[in-house]
Structure 1
């Protein structure tokens, strides 16, 4: 119960993306839609561990629980960001029985290290979901759509399906830039 009560905080952590109704998106909403995106695309990757993909999607932003989201455009020192997020995950893991806490840390660390095929897919889809929200949301005037064109591009080079997805995302972004 303590863990579930703690992670409820993510419902109130605002991101720099806007929803279609014009309000700021929460980290919890982003993580939920990322998990759905991963679930529907997992069929394209029959060799991947589907459960692990979903676990990675669900825990990837738990590090934002206490100190919030640091937008990509505002991230300075990646090591400092990682230390803050690791401390949050450690704190959350401490709310769980020892084995469950160890598992939570392991999933989060796998995502951070991004060495497994599952983590690499979730990393790319995390970027994709963010770009999708940027393009779909009711953004304030002056929103920087151009940011999308370079955001996380390196994570889409791994395979053909991700490259096609990136092409669709970039085309959608370009439509916004032409307005």
Structure 2
């Protein structure tokens, strides 16, 4: 991604947007979180692999998930039921979104943004926890009061994940 400067007001507004998104997820307000997405959202997390150079370290044809707005909505609704056993009891989570990088795209006002993500997830009373770290690559489209996320690609920085499930959103 080539970096282009955006004005300070846009940068601060974008950082606030991502902080708000993290808060919605940590507070389990999935319905409000879904409102941040465009109807044609592509929400993917390809598998990471360890290969010798110059081979790619991602397998885009295979992923942890490959969601649309409809499948994200179903996943969120399922978390409110008693059949979401991987999140019963619900995980305690805290998301940290940092290193916001922005490049403006097209005259339409769409932007490419990259952020670093750290997710702390606690699942029990025994002190065990998961740390999931990665980079999120978003295509943001002007919409509503802020932006709509039209595409999100999450590159998890683990080829072999130690978490037992990915029942939370990244």
Scaled by the length of structure 1, the TM-score of the pair is: 0.23
Scaled by the length of structure 2, the TM-score of the pair is: 0.24
Quick check: which one's helix share is greater? 1
Quick check: which one's strand share is greater? 2
